[in-house]
Chain A
């Protein structure tokens, strides 16, 4: 906390009021409603409702389709996080090494950040389109019997690829900044101690990047959990057979398509708890290992 502060007056309340009011109306109230509705069994039009305790949770969570979505979400998040971090790190390390063309590389590698997930999704969708998509034709030509409409692995492949493609830029920017923030003296000292650049990277550079990596992991997992909604909705829409449905997509499907408000609220609450738990885990256990 700052040592020097203003005395108590009405001013801080006025200043913080807009943010708090918005949070109350558009965050806390809907969140409370979600929790409340998760305990109700209501018809879509709200004309009859009963309080049913944890039945919505039982019905929706302990069901094959939810478990399938949960499983996919986990695998998907891990894959997307790992792949986009790895690729971005590789590119950042290389971009940090070059002198000629450094800023061009930097510019061309970072601009994809600005693309919206659904836009990336639609582009990817058309590139895999059986009729006009070159990627579809290419994959089939090299012997992979590729059909993302039918095969769950192929569909997962498409979604992961697009998600990773979009996310590499963000990670790249942060990794590059992180690398550029390592003091020259450290680099020079390590050059003298260790001849192998490979070893140098893993024993010195990578640990120094740990805070960045940790931060990016949090962002990437959040991205994979939630923002990829736009990608899934414009490509596979959760097909085939629910194989590419993430938990958040299922909330949307049940609530917005199926008009099952109690069920989707229960799923929202569970999702909220999962995110909270994940964040706590990340901050508690992983951050401990990160040395500032």
Chain B
């Protein structure tokens, strides 16, 4: 009996404490998925904002990884306890954007919103089919190739490969020098989604999924199969290393000098600068000359901030104000420098250029340059439902290709079947 009253008292008192805090200023709950160093920078941004004015207090809370944060947001929304701002990642974009009424579009929320302010590669991923931006890209990155300059010197190679054909030519030299030539950290993102964007290939029907939810995935195409057939042959020949599907394991292989090149994210260079004991360089994601002579840009990965619906007007004003703060050049450049994520506005990019940041740190610019490459019909991104599960399906079949338990054709055929079944399910949800 006593325990119960104790527990009740505990619940009651924490409720009282919480409510007294809220009365001070408009409190904005911001749920995000950044831990470690990134989490610290997030906290810093909120701290700086809170210190800069007295009307709004932004409270950032780490809710776990991307999926966990989305799940927490969903459950909270269903329980009518949703936060004001939530960070949703690329694979979850379809889920939150298709839920009409779950969010308030950024374009509607912010005053003087102009999509042209943003650099081309980030504009459309979180926008609807009318090009209206729904979510505010927050931590945007794009796949880049990192290479070990010392290893290259050892192998007698001058420059990193621009094309995969060039890669194939130099891989044996690296192997002779004792390195596995390549590893990468996210096969769906790098070797599938951005593969299509780089070669301007359509990856799903319905305008890559933007126009409707009644769509099919188009991964089971000859170009993809050719590429994956090649990757498998590289694995067998010792030119490619696969260290599991965890991002960190493949990055570690590069840091530990097991592999000479690594495909990671534009945001990785910050961590690499600290952990790599060798000189490294950055360059664009390679492409196949046999597929296209004019490669196009890639699109962003990472996540965006969404304003959830169901809040008061003054809270939305506060959110808009905070978003304005976050997108100001000063803060964009701060975030960019601290984390390696790209600045999303043209103004911020220009500002960083002006202060000479890219002269001292040229690696930081590569991602932006790649995102600013000429766009094609299929470079704005994708909008696909149940994409978390679809990525699982992809991982599964890529694992099978690597381990040799399925041929490339079999794997892609199965992948197509399972993914499209998921898409049909997703579509039926919105009937």
Do chains A and B make direct contact within the complex (CB under 8 angstroms)?
yes
Which residues of A sit under 8 angstroms from B243, Cβ to Cβ? 130, 149
Contact digits for B95-107, partner A, Cβ 8 Å, 1 yes 0 no: 1101111100000
A45–B96 Cα distance when bound, in Å, is: 8
| Of A46, A241, A257, the contact of B388 (CB 8 Å cutoff) | A257
Flag if B403 contacts A260 (CB, 8 Å).
no
Flag if A259 contacts B95 (CB, 8 Å).
yes
Flag if B429 contacts A131 (CB, 8 Å).
no
Flag if A239 contacts B95 (CB, 8 Å).
no
Which residues of B sit under 8 angstroms from A152, Cβ to Cβ? 403, 405
Contact digits for A52-74, partner B, Cβ 8 Å, 1 yes 0 no: 10000001000111000000000
| Closest beta carbon of chain A to B396's beta carbon, Å | 4
Q: Which size bracket describes the interface of B in this complex?
A: 35 or more
| Of A43, A46, A150, A241, the contact of B395 (CB 8 Å cutoff) | A241
Which residues of B sit under 8 angstroms from A63, Cβ to Cβ? 418, 421
Flag if B100 contacts A47 (CB, 8 Å).
yes
**B218 within 8 A of partner (CB):** no
Flag if A259 contacts B77 (CB, 8 Å).
no
**B70 within 8 A of partner (CB):** yes
Contact (A259, B396) CB under 8 Å given A47-B99, A149-B243, A149-B249:
no
9 A-B residue pairs with CB within 8 Å? A44-B96, A45-B99, A46-B78, A149-B242, A149-B249, A239-B244, A240-B399, A257-B71, A259-B92
**A104 within 8 A of partner (CB):** no
Which residues of A sit under 8 angstroms from B63, Cβ to Cβ? none
A254–B429 Cα distance when bound, in Å, is: 15
A241–B392 Cα distance when bound, in Å, is: 8
Which residues of B sit under 8 angstroms from A243, Cβ to Cβ? 399
Flag if B95 contacts A43 (CB, 8 Å).
yes
| Of A45, A239, A241, the contact of B74 (CB 8 Å cutoff) | A45
A63–B395 Cα distance when bound, in Å, is: 16
Contact digits for B394-425, partner A, Cβ 8 Å, 1 yes 0 no: 01111110110100000000100010010001
Flag if A241 contacts B95 (CB, 8 Å).
no
Which residues of A sit under 8 angstroms from B78, Cβ to Cβ? 45-46
**B68 within 8 A of partner (CB):** yes
| Of B246, B386, B392, B402, the contact of A242 (CB 8 Å cutoff) | B392
Which residues of B sit under 8 angstroms from A150, Cβ to Cβ? 242, 244, 399, 402-403
With both beta carbons as reference points, the residue of chain A lying nearest to B250 in the complex is identified as A149
- How many contacting A-B pairs (Cβ < 8 A)? 106
Beyond A152-B403, A258-B67, list 8 extra A-B contacts (CB 8 Å).
A45-B74, A149-B249, A239-B399, A240-B396, A241-B396, A258-B386, A259-B388, A263-B425
Q: Chain A: interface secondary structure?
A: loop
| Closest beta carbon of chain B to A263's beta carbon, Å | 8
**A253 within 8 A of partner (CB):** yes
Query: Which of B68, B100, B429 has its CB near the most chain A CB atoms (within 10 A)?
Result: B429
Which residues of A sit under 8 angstroms from B92, Cβ to Cβ? 259
A208–B137 Cα distance when bound, in Å, is: 67
Flag if B403 contacts A259 (CB, 8 Å).
no
**B256 within 8 A of partner (CB):** yes
Which residues of B sit under 8 angstroms from A227, Cβ to Cβ? none
**B252 within 8 A of partner (CB):** yes
A240–B246 Cα distance when bound, in Å, is: 11
| Closest beta carbon of chain A to B114's beta carbon, Å | 29
